[in-house]
Amino acid sequence: MDPTIISIIVVLSFLIFLMAGMPVFGALGLASVIGILLVQGPRGLGAVPGVIYDRLAGFVLVAVPLFILMGEIIFISGIGADIYTATSRWLNKLSGSLGMSSVAACAIFSALCGVSVAGAATIGSFAIPEMLKRGYDKSLATGCVAASGGLALLIPPSVALILYGVVADESVGKLFIAGIIPGFALAILMMGYIFILAKVRPHMAPASTRQITWSMRFAALARIWPVLLLIFLVLGSIYMGIATPTEAAAVGCMGALVLGIFRKKLNWNILKRIFRTTMVTSGMILMILSSALLFGYVLTRLQVPQQLAELVATSHLPDWAVLILIFALLFVMGMFMDIVSVILISTPILLPIVIGMGYNALWFGIVMAITCEIGTETPPVGLNLFVIKGVSPDSVSLMDVIRGAIPFAMVETFGLIIFVAFPGLVLWLPGLLK
């Protein structure tokens, strides 16, 4: 059978299974098996275990459950409230201080937890009621947390960047370092938007009337110094070449565990719940990864990425037009699918096209993460929107959350354009690594 026809059958099968309600890993796996049978016959199924084992046996993937475990321990330890208190006190004098504090708290929390919904849920559970109590507009109060929660996809230790590194065969350590400047730059852009909005429309973000002394600021900072130390242990050890991302994840887990015990937030029952949640989440991610690797294997056998790259090369379209089409595809996928699935499905197809145009795979991983981040806060299925609705008071509607998140998505799109136009902003810091 013609490879083009088989490729169409495989892709259509995946879409049909997905629309029928089948889990992503099942739809990918079953479509891949159909492709293998059509290309190689029943004997081809013997390659399935080898394809999956080849990547899943990699040492770097151990970091995924470790960082998820670290995030779960931090979530239970109640660190989010202390981070928000510290940021709100230090930014108290600025216009829109509570909204800016929420973004800053999410950025710091993202450096501890690589899953976006965890940051959005943790910070949002107390930041949103506090902003509403102070007279903030509902859409602004919810939108800033929904958007900044997605920073965990970019700011290390990002699980999304780990998975991209595995599929793209890129250094996870360099991806982590590359995500630092874009991640915190996007946070600053969001904070800048809130500051300007508070100046132009003060009724949406009333000025704080609380009197915060310097002693109160330093007291709040003293509460979170272990958090800053934990961030340094994880990211500093990677940057200085002391530890691999996997080893740094183990160090982070031990640090989070000690911190949880020190705060007297952990007992045996809570630990069992943490381990169970970590196993379920890690299992789900690794099942999707194994199916996506198999899907990529089938597409490679069918020469789909190579043919697409050749098609782009001979289409005479300018590079910027091709990039717009790629980002539009990622954005639409992010609107309907979870980010793990988007990265694992699209990377084997899109990366050869991007490399064929002369772009860096490290850079593409970061801008892909930003595009997917925008998708998490965009309807109809932006996951962070529903998470924020779930932790908000009953007076807040889903439309309030959506209206608030869309301007922040536009701010992030502006940031994406900057990093596409100036790739050096992404590549400079990892270029310093030996």
Question: Which two structure tokens, joined as six digits, stand for 94?
Answer: 């600025």
Range of lowest pLDDT (14-28, 73-87, 110-124, 316-330): 110-124
DSSP-derived secondary structure letter, 432: T
Does pLDDT of 366 surpass 90?
yes
Of 140, 65, 72, the closest CA to residue 100 belongs to 140
Does pLDDT of 55 surpass 70?
no
Angle between helices 268-301 and 339-356 (to 10 degrees): 40
8 Å CB contact between 366 and 179: yes
Summarised one tens digit per residue, pLDDT across range 214-258 is 888 888 888 888 888 888 888 888 777 788 888 888 888 888 888
From the number of C-beta atoms within 10 Å of its C-beta (0-12, 13-18, 19+), residue 353 rates as: buried
pLDDT at position 338, please? Answer: 67
CA neighbours closer than 13 Å in the CB half-sphere of residue 357:
22
Question: What is the average pLDDT score of the chain?
Answer: 83
Does pLDDT of 434 surpass 60?
no
Summarised one tens digit per residue, pLDDT across range 79-115 is 777 888 888 888 888 888 889 999 998 888 888 776 6
- Region of 396 on the Ramachandran plot (φ > 0 left; ψ -120 to 50 alpha; else beta): beta
Does pLDDT of 116 surpass 80?
no
pLDDT at position 66, please? Answer: 84
d(CA 25, CA 90): 45
**How distant, in Å, are the alpha carbons of 84, 150, 230 from that of 87?**
5, 18, 17
Q: Which helix (H) or strand (E) holds 429?
A: helix 424-431
pLDDT at position 196, please? Answer: 93
Q: What is the pTM of this model?
A: 0.80
3-state secondary structure of 395: coil
Looking up tokens 């001979």 gives: 314
DSSP-derived secondary structure letter, 113: -
d(CA 205, CA 367): 31
Between CA 162 and CA 166, with CA 163 as vertex, the angle to 5 degrees is 90
8 Å CB contact between 140 and 204: yes
pLDDT at position 195, please? Answer: 93
pLDDT at position 159, please? Answer: 80
d(CA 43, CA 41): 5
| Average pLDDT estimate for 49-67 | 77
d(CA 410, CA 162): 26
pLDDT at position 305, please? Answer: 65
Amino acid at 341: S
pLDDT at position 117, please? Answer: 66
Tell me which range, 40-54, 337-351, 397-411, is most confidently predicted by mean pLDDT: 397-411
